Amino acid sequence: MRFGAIPYRWVIAVTLFVAYSIQYLDRVKTNVLNPVIAHDVGLSTADLGTGAFLMLLFYGPSQYVSGILTDRFGAKRILIFSVIAWSIMTAWMAHIQTRDEYFFRMALFGALVGTEYVPSARILMRWFNKEGRARAQALLSWAWILTPAWASVFATQFAHAAGDWRIVFYVTAAFGVVPLLLILVIVFDRPEQFKGATPEDLEYAYRDEIERGEIRAGHYQDVEAKARASGGIRFIDLFKSQSYIAVVVVDIVMQITLYGALTWIPLYLSDVFHFKLQEMGLWSGLYFAAGAVGSFTSSYLSDKVFHGNRRIMILACFVGLAPFVFLLANLNEANPTMLAVCLCGMGFFGNMAWGPFLTVPAEIFSPEVYGKAMGFVNGAGYTVAAFSAKIFASLVVVTAAGKDYSNGWLFIGACVLVGIVAASFIRTRENEVSQPAVNPAAVKAG
């Protein structure tokens, strides 16, 4: 089915982007409003670091659990649960009054809302083949790249106009009805479940399996049944792939970089450059606006120019990002031009790897086991990123002149160098691990 000239798979991709963007509002507005939240509730810089740590600590394992549940029960069901949980957690944030309540809410938020990414990505992996997966993932990545670009401005301006940060959480909690309705009406786990799917939609989605001889054209219903009958892939078998291990490390670095930007750029701008609340939102938006351009540019090149060679753009991400992180570490004086260069450079290069590397597990193994494979990747990434938030907070130096964030940015720069090494080991053109989800011989015999 097509909407004009747009295939239905792109309608689903846009729907998932919109739904994820609304869910991502909570993290963005919480981070950008942290200075006023901290003042109102009585939180120190260390407390904010602990809050980020607790959210990510529980968010990480939730990714792996949601991946297993997604492969077993279907992505759409998990997404519906995720949206409802998000709305409740967002409204609760408006009620917190104490430090302990803040910590408990952040931990529970991480556990319940860690269910949004893996099912969304799992749906895209099934509707798209390798010719479009990176671009589809890049569009989904705009949810956590573009959302901060406008949501930081929205949250700061709304809070400033209302004179109260809590009303921002009440209003955005009500937004949850939008993704809930979109998912219920538009999204389907698999092309063959959608009554309006055309033969072209089905052939496109399963083209990789058809070309490898794993299924025959028109026998699409067999894929899910055989995947369930095989039991998927064993957890230990994931680590027989060198590329999969490299992707785990790449995700860890990407999460450290992303949450370093989300958590610390607003505080850095407030403490070092003394920006007011509304100015801080506009400057923070530079990083994320540049990130949207970098993400989609690299994914287009990965799909169309480099024909599925994911390693090239992942390496470009880290090699290009490193100089800007180290430059920011040495930028402690009010220089608006250099600050803009740093934020745009970090945003552009720091988000280039999302589309390419998020497709790799589906191309090493199979879209049928993507939930489990990607769930562990993201689980590891977020868990380590949780500890990185504590490390960054401990590296912020309080001086007579204010706070010095240089050591924190140097720490992130060192992590980026690790990402360069890990990315060099990614290979997506070779079938490193046997496909457990489908037995080609059985398909041909049938």
What are the structure tokens assigned to 289, written together?
């606006």
Residue 142 sits in which domain range? 2-445
Q: Are the C-beta atoms of residues 166 and 94 closer than 8 Å to each other?
A: yes
Residues 6+ apart with CB under 8 A from 296: 135, 138, 139, 142, 355
Residues 6+ apart with CB under 8 A from 341: 324, 327
Helix/strand/coil for 342? helix
Of residues 117, 132, 124, the one with CA closest to residue 13 = 124
Q: What does residue 63 show for φ and ψ, rounded to 5 degrees?
A: -65, -45
Number of domains in the chain: 1
pLDDT confidence of residue 4: 62
Give how far Cα 159 sits from Cα of 27, 35, 145, 168, 338, Å.
15, 12, 22, 6, 29
The Cα 196–Cα 216 span in angstroms is 21
The one-digit pLDDT tens for each residue of the chain (446 residues) are: 666 678 999 999 999 999 999 988 887 788 778 888 998 999 888 888 888 888 888 988 999 999 989 988 899 999 999 999 999 999 999 999 999 999 999 999 999 998 999 999 999 999 999 889 999 999 999 888 888 778 877 888 888 888 889 999 999 999 999 999 999 999 999 999 999 888 888 999 988 888 877 777 777 776 666 666 555 678 899 999 999 999 999 999 999 988 788 778 877 887 877 777 667 667 777 888 898 899 999 999 999 898 888 999 999 999 999 999 999 888 866 678 888 899 999 999 999 999 999 999 988 888 888 998 999 998 898 888 878 877 888 898 887 777 888 899 999 999 999 999 999 999 864 444 434 444 433 333 33
Which CATH number belongs to the domain containing residue 147 in this structure? 1.20.1250.20
Q: Which DSSP string do the residues of 63-132 spell out, in sequence order? A: HHHHHHHHHHH-HHHHHHHHHHHHHHHHHHHTT--SHHHHHHHHHHHHHHHTTSHHHHHHHHHHH--TTT
Q: What does residue 213 show for φ and ψ, rounded to 5 degrees?
A: 80, 15
What are the structure tokens assigned to 271, written together?
């403490």
Helix/strand/coil for 284? helix
Of residues 60, 173, 80, 65, the one with CA closest to residue 120 = 80
What are the structure tokens assigned to 183, written together?
């998912």
Its pTM stands at 0.81
pLDDT confidence of residue 429: 46
Any idea which residue has 């963007």 for tokens?
A: 21
- What DSSP character marks residue 396? P
What are the structure tokens assigned to 243, written together?
């590329």
Residues 6+ apart with CB under 8 A from 83: 19, 23, 116, 176, 179, 180, 183
- What DSSP character marks residue 39? H
* Helices and strands (DSSP H and E) totals, the chain: 21, 4
**CA atoms 35, 39, 45, 47: torsion sign:** negative
∠ CA 240-241-247, nearest 5°, is 130
The Cα 51–Cα 57 span in angstroms is 10
Q: At what angle do helices 354-364 and 277-300 cross, to 10 degrees?
A: 50
Residues 6+ apart with CB under 8 A from 23: 82, 83, 86, 113, 116, 143, 176, 179
DSSP bridge partners of 404: 397
Helix/strand/coil for 404? strand
pLDDT confidence of residue 278: 65
**CA atoms 423, 427, 429, 432: torsion sign:** negative
The Cα 82–Cα 317 span in angstroms is 30
Residues 6+ apart with CB under 8 A from 159: 33, 36, 165, 167, 168, 277
